[in-house]
Structure 1
């Protein structure tokens, strides 16, 4: 009787290749499986060498002994295929080979949209992109991640991204308040990519105002109007749209001094301190925002006593001269005395340098700061006048000038011993005035004296004069005017020829 023989293979099946998305077919070569038993028929099956079923995309036709199908995305890789031939007695033989499915890259895709994020300013922010946000059907493909701003610009400096952990992190400040649109991109090994948009909103948290420019200490002057207007840059609030209100008080919370006022609309401190306000007061200015948070600055206002500087002699007073009987005036120049203190006023007095009052003839006007008067004969002298300038603080300075009053040279006068004399034409020589005297009232050497001879006839009358002993006469007689000019003390004698008219002495 026949003993069944198992089928056999005549060789080996070469490795096969397929490509994702491309139809694949492989037919076992004819005569590859044989059976020596006459009349025996073979049946064929195909499985994985692990005895598993073929993948869904791959089918086997036992009649034609053909493997066929189109591998899809994700089917790439190597399959170990086993084709088995079985005879009627269920004896079998198998042939194994590899089917390499070449991968065709498929771009990654968005699986779950990334949720928008929100964070408060000044708070630490951290957000990891879920690993399920993006997918890639290519087996073994690995995605890398990147994040930019919507414009393609890099992330702002406050925000960082760690691609390994897919984590965004940072701490936004007030400057970042608002919405930031981010583009999250997943890229596969073939550089194909997919992106999703995430809106990151930074919500505002109120920031207190800050002091930018401290206010300098102030030094108002007594009785002088004081004004201090705060620069708008003194305080700042970085919150967009916030506004500040201002209040002023003493640093200890007390009210402002009575002389000082604050106008919140113009941010101006103003007032006029008096001597009663001497000292230092600390002032506090508070800037408050709409949320009630505030910032302040303090500065000192110091009112010092006025230090009075004495007046000075800027230009020495010039010496002066006056003449007896002649009006005298002298106005002190405004530049003679000055006071370094701005606004100080000087008053003036005058006296003699020896402390005596001014002579009666000399008047000083303190309003016009001038001297005037007319010296008389008895006022001839050399005076030293002292002028004193006094400021409002009763500080004084003085200067002196010499005033020389010169005498006036009075004309000498003729003092006759008798007022008149008459004589007859028959009389010979007649003494007009036997004791004619020349006198000078101011006791100075006179230059001339005159005696007028009335009725003198030139060529007919003659005039002779005889001086007193020790007083020689110098002078001349002008016959045409009848004037005898004399120097000294003299007696004159008029010689009259007979029948001539009688001259008369006045």
Structure 2
């Protein structure tokens, strides 16, 4: 017969929201029967449908469907014609439901005082699942509390708890609705199989007896926990091209594996399965003895193998292990042959043939052993692992002439082994043969080739380093060049002092216009001509430039100006100069200084006095008739009413006309004795001078042109 074991109204059906999808699957333990039975539904509203195969009710209600419809689920037994029914009242509402505010992951932390007598389960634990979980040992009392702010809603909230499949809580778990706590005592280990997991659901709803929002978590009953402190098992190092056999039975092989937070013992690992499918061409694994064996190719670098590890507490970890190739512990796999004399002492040190680039650990972590061929050589040869030396006394009259000693180095840290062979010759003929065979393989030994390659790498590395440094230095030097702010740019103008600005005429007015000289644009000392303003602002006269680009600017009006002017005249208007190299500029400065020193001699000491030249003949008495009217010249006494000068006999004073005479009150920067021009000074005759004496022998005067 069919009976109701778990009524639908006790299973907390979800609240249906208008215009939201509604779905609910009731518990498979709702009905019980000795035989198979089928489900059917009745009194369903128009918006709701039922799937008997999955025991699921689904649909989307509208505004007209608001209310509390009652539905009936019936279970029928086809063999006995028996049936049983269970009804439930649904809730259809337009109001929004509660929302989750604090997830369970944020509450299952060590600092939460609401967790008592429980252990947190980490992500790398064998007990970790898809949901947050807590571990509780058997026969332990516990308490698991949740924050009141786990859910938030505008209305009152009602809480309830069920198992994840909708069934009631186990009898050893009690839920307090008001305190939001799960309390109880875990079962005895004899009554369950560890680890035992119970999946629970905390429900919250705005209507009592229903579910609107929920969170899931697990309670795992287990006395121990297997976990990993690292991402994988320790890397297994092997030597490329060398056969190896490695049994994983030491504590170091399972480093990082923890049992209750402590390093696991290899005896606690009951099963270790390593998948060698990716390296099956050369790698073999025996799960019974936990042994890896094989010979990696010479070009092998690394490989990752999946590992499944099961412990004695019935917990399984999924991880992986890496196999990596490392250089040999020896510098060569074939050592240079040695010659041993019969009846003499024999000593060989293996230290020079050790490789220092493998990084296998300290010497004490490496175990070196020796094997002999033939085996009887081990009776008189002895290898000392502490000194890494082979020694002994060679017997006399041996039946063989050659001994092969194979050295094997095993690192307990990296689990890698390396091999090398030492040929020992007992006769000169065998020694020469071994040497010939050694050279025939390549001339140089492997150790010699390694040393040669190391030297070449260091040499070329140093050379390339110097070249790279030189290139970088040249690039940085080129990129770091900046314009000379003392010559160009606004900073050059701001660098002048007030005296220098007045000297070069920066900011003064020339002929009614404010002057601002152009700054050099072609470099130091270049000059394409010094230009001076004339009486008309539109006219400019040029001189050949010999000195610096900038020149002093007139600050007063000129009375006269010559058409040909000395290059040293300070009167000028600076133009935009050209560009020349600094060395060329300094050369021109020095040349100009020599020219100036040749033309003008400074008085080093003593007072400066004006130099008055001797009087020169201007005209004779024979040309008085053609002389112009007397010209009164200040400082020269003329007693002849007809004058002393004639136009025909007027002689120039080195190219200086009478128009160059200036009144004592006039000032000229051009012909002034204090100016820096090449024009000669015209002395003025004092009034107290006596008249000239008559000339008896009149020379032929040169007429002025």
TM-score by length of 1: 0.25
| Bigger relative CO (Cα 8 Å, ≥ 6 apart) | 1
The structure that is helix-richer by fraction is 2
TM-score by length of 2: 0.19
Q: Which has the larger radius of gyration?
A: 1
